[in-house]
Structure 1
């Protein structure tokens, strides 16, 4: 099953976990530590209500800093134009654009965790995370668009993009197959991806130095 199909069939918890996992893997671009999103993961595991999700989200935004209001603030359909893609056309290049995309992922997270809002956010996070990995991969993708990759056309993918696509699919399959019990292994998958991206960012920083 393609990533697009998995997102289309996911329930609210699966969608929230999918978007959160994409954001978690990109935390190194936001200057956050490895534990910064744990309150949101814990809220999904505890089945915390929508209000508590919103409170925890605002705490995370406070820790990571930045002007989130300009990039979307409250998430949901109104902040993405209903397209499921807030990545837009970044004006920077390379790591600068990757950072911008990561910040938009956090900015667009819905304070009210409704099924419709979380679905739009999860879809947009999927696109943005794949683009981020493509921007940071020293080996460029062979040519197909992110949309094509998400639909299952995977020939010639660069290594970072291929690994990110596998992780996104795995997280959704874990939640679909195991419900709340899939959250822990989904977090482990995301933690592995975060370590990979942190190493990539660190190498790029050393080369610039």
Structure 2
């Protein structure tokens, strides 16, 4: 089953975990530590955490600093999912600046667009957009060129010529959704482990790029 199909069939918890995991793997671009999103992860363990999702989200935004709100035009409270302003994150660059600058902006917009209400409708839009943005970020930061035309093609199952960083991110996104679909709440811990591995990989990539610039 393709990534697009998995997102289309995911339930409310699976969508929340999918979007959050994508954001978690990109935390190194936001200057956050490895624990900054733990309150949101903890709230996904049971249905009672849904009522606290919005409050915990605002706390996370405060810790990461900067302005995260609808005023930037990326999303309303329900999450519009349009991170680029053009609606296209999968082809050529849609933001100005270097690839790393664009990656940082995309990561910030993933957090900005997170819906304050944990409803399936808003989360589906957000999870889908986070999926695209996270793949786009990994494509921008991968030292090897991804031969595909778009990350959307990757999400639909056309995987020929993928670069290693993009291939690994696609695999993690699929794995997280399969874990939640197959195990429900019991899939949270292994999903977090998958995301933690991906965050470490991206942190190493960002560190190497920083050393090269220095």
Per-residue deviation, 1:48: 3.0
Contact 1:130 1:165 in 2 (8 A): yes
Deviation at 1:42, TM superposition (A): 0.3
Is the partner of 1:109 in helix, strand or coil? Answer: coil
Q: 16-25 or 44-53: which moved more?
A: 44-53
In the aligned structure 1, how far is the partner of 2:17 from the partner of 2:209?
A: 29
- Separation in 2, partners of 1:156, 1:163: 13
SS across alignment from 1:102: helix
The CA RMSD measured in Å over matched residues stands at 2.8
Q: CA deviation at 1:86?
A: 1.9
CA distance in 2, matches of 1:77, 1:87: 7
CA positional deviation for 1:47: 2.8
Instruction: Specify whether residues 92 and 180 from structure 1 end up closer, same or farther in structure 2 by C-alpha distance, changes over 3 A only.
Output: closer
| Paired residues, number | 206
Instruction: Could you tell me which runs of 5 or more consecutive residues in structure 1 were left unpaired when the two chains were aligned.
Output: none
Change (3 A) 1:74 1:105: farther
Match of 1:47 in 2: 47
Deviation at 1:143, TM superposition (A): 2.7
Asked whether the equivalents of residues 76 and 116 of structure 1 are also in contact (C-alpha less than 8 Å), the reply is: no
Cα distance, 1:75–1:179 mapped onto 2, change above 3 Å = farther
CA distance in 1, matches of 2:28, 2:139: 16
Q: 1:98–1:132: 8 Å Cα contact kept in structure 2?
A: yes
> Which range is displaced more, 172-181 or 91-100?
91-100
Distance in 2, matches of 1:92 and 1:149, equals: 12
1:47-104 deviations in Å (ceiling 9; x for gaps):
3343300010000000001111xxx549999649987442346999911000000000
- Change beyond 3 A, Cα 1:140–1:77: closer
Q: Is the 8 A contact 2:74 2:85 kept in 1?
A: no
Separation in 2, partners of 1:78, 1:98 = 18
Unaligned runs of 5+ in 2: 93-98
Query: Is residue 18 from structure 1 mapped to residue 18 from structure 2 by the alignment?
Result: yes
Superposed displacement of residue 144, structure 1: 2.4
**Conserved 8 A contact 1:28-1:201:** yes
Question: Alignment partner of 1:79: what SS?
Answer: coil
- 1:77–1:182 CA distance, 2 compared to 1 (3 A): farther
Instruction: Tell me: CA distance 1:170–1:108, structure 2 relative to 1, closer, same or farther (3 Å).
Output: same
Distance 1:74 1:4, change over 3 A: farther
- 1:94-153 C-alpha deviation (Å, 9 max, x unpaired): 110000000000000001111100000000000000000000000011032111100000
Range that drifts further, 40-49 or 117-126: 40-49
SS, match of residue 35 in structure 1: coil
Report the TM-score when normalising by structure 2. Answer: 0.89
Q: How does 1:103-182 map to 2 (within 5 A)?
A: 103-182=108-187
